[in-house]
A and B are shown apart, each in its own frame.
Chain A
């Protein structure tokens, strides 16, 4: 193995690479027109698209902030409902054999079906509005948060639980003071998977049918054959995805200070 490169060298290399790629992109498209702008947009096309969607009347029915806001609101709603249902259910499954015996077969049958496959069913049941999207996002995020919570509870050191019991802790106290904190790292890795799944699923659901949102911008730009707008909307999809991951990481560090 080669020597581990220092952080500074890596950062310089990263910036240099991105600069080279961006310059190459600009030269190939805008300057020499080696790639036609109908196939792949140049920086100028993307900036044009950004300006067009940035000010009223926007594009695809609204300005960029409204689209981003709509997508983020839906993904947040679905994700929180999923965390609020999946985590407690996972705790219950990990603590009670009866709940586990009852719910496990249900999950084993549902799990192999990818969340995206629920989109048509959600549209039949709830139409194209926000309810259908929250349902699909909930579904996508629910399974990983539940399974990881369950696994986390199962992996708690039994000695810790026995020690709390010996000191007379009730089941509720054991749950809130021992089991829940001990399984938090696993819960958070489940939530991270949930969040990624929610975002992908939401964008897919919006691509299939929506009136507003980033997926809707992508669909409209695709039918208009507007590569600059497609590129700009994709960049927003990536940006929101990475921002949410960073936010969840910060929440995790705050919730588990003893792991720092």
Chain B
């Protein structure tokens, strides 16, 4: 902090390029009640969070059942795994052009990108969780006449919850980061858009305020999921 404020005060440093900590805090506070790029900071954050939640929930709703199913049905595993491996290396952000082409730049496009970022960890962790379930539990269930669906819902799902929640934490991080990338490129509202506007106005204080807001929300999401993780592992008998 001291180095930062000294560097900002050093002669020859343009305050527009490197504002001091105080002026960033000042800008941050001003942005909460004065609209910039159409909305206040809270409104930008709000629209980002709504998109994030939609994409993240969609990824979890599709990814977790798919991962569990792959862990149970060998044939599904054999079919999906090669496709999944092929797609995994496409950086989520590279979906931006197709996202814009298919769903426009409103709400659908960013959701596809968040989905692309958050989907793989959901599938992988549900799959790993399902593969590591104690075989005795499954055999016991099958001996008692459980159907495939019952085994998945009553044995695999509860037993792999810790792994799934750990996967959700990773996906939330990746999803949040992909959202920022999407907003930097295509969207017309949201926290990333606020930063791009700050950038094109050469207003570094606004860019830094956006970074602080992104960091705070990202940390809050992570802390929330870590809390869930701890609650889940505590509830499980060792």
Q: Contact residues of A with B, CB < 8 Å? A: 1-3, 5, 9-10, 13-15, 17-18, 21, 39, 109, 112-121, 123-125, 199-200, 203-204, 207-208, 215, 218-219, 221-222, 225, 227, 230, 233-234, 237-239, 241-242, 245
Contacts and interface: CB of A to CB of B under 8 A. Distances in A.
B82 A14 contact: yes
Interface string B39-64: 00000000000000000000000000
Assign chain B's interface to a size class: 35 or more
Interface string B164-207: 00000000010011001100110000001001101100101001
A225 B102 CA distance: 11
Pick from B74, B86, B97, B204 the residue with the most CB of A within 10 Å. Answer: B97
B232 interface: no
Pick from B82, B91, B173, B196 the residue with the most CB of A within 10 Å. Answer: B91
Interface in B20-74: 71-74
B93 interface: yes
Given A5-B74, A17-B79, A241 B97 contact: no
B226 interface: no
A31 to B, nearest CB: 21
B21 to A, nearest CB: 11
Nearest to B202: A124
Contacts, number: 143
A116 B184 contact: yes
Contact of B185 (A208, A225, A234, A241): A208
Given A204-B181, A208-B184, A218-B96, 13 more contacts: A1-B133, A2-B72, A3-B74, A17-B79, A112-B216, A114-B214, A120-B195, A124-B207, A125-B17, A200-B91, A222-B100, A238-B87, A242-B89
Nearest to A240: B89
Contact of A18 (B77, B83, B181): B83
B78 A121 contact: no
Given A9-B78, A242-B89, A114 B180 contact: yes
A233 B214 CA distance: 29
Contact of B222 (A39, A112, A204): A112
A208 B180 CA distance: 12
B195 A230 contact: no
A117 B91 contact: no
Pick from A39, A117, A207 the residue with the most CB of B within 10 Å. Answer: A117
B210 A117 contact: yes
Interface of B: 17, 71-75, 77-79, 81-83, 86-87, 89-98, 100-102, 131, 133, 135, 138, 173, 176-177, 180-181, 184-185, 192, 195-196, 198-199, 202, 204, 207-208, 210-212, 214-216, 218-219, 222
B100 A112 contact: no
Contacts of B202: 124
Contacts of A218: 94, 96-97
B90 A117 contact: no
Contacts of B173: 114
A123 B93 contact: no
Contacts of A238: 86-87, 89-91, 94
15 contacts: A1-B133, A1-B138, A10-B78, A13-B82, A17-B82, A114-B180, A116-B181, A117-B211, A118-B211, A121-B208, A207-B96, A207-B181, A222-B96, A230-B101, A245-B89
B135 A120 contact: no
Given A9-B78, A112-B216, A114-B214, A123 B199 contact: yes
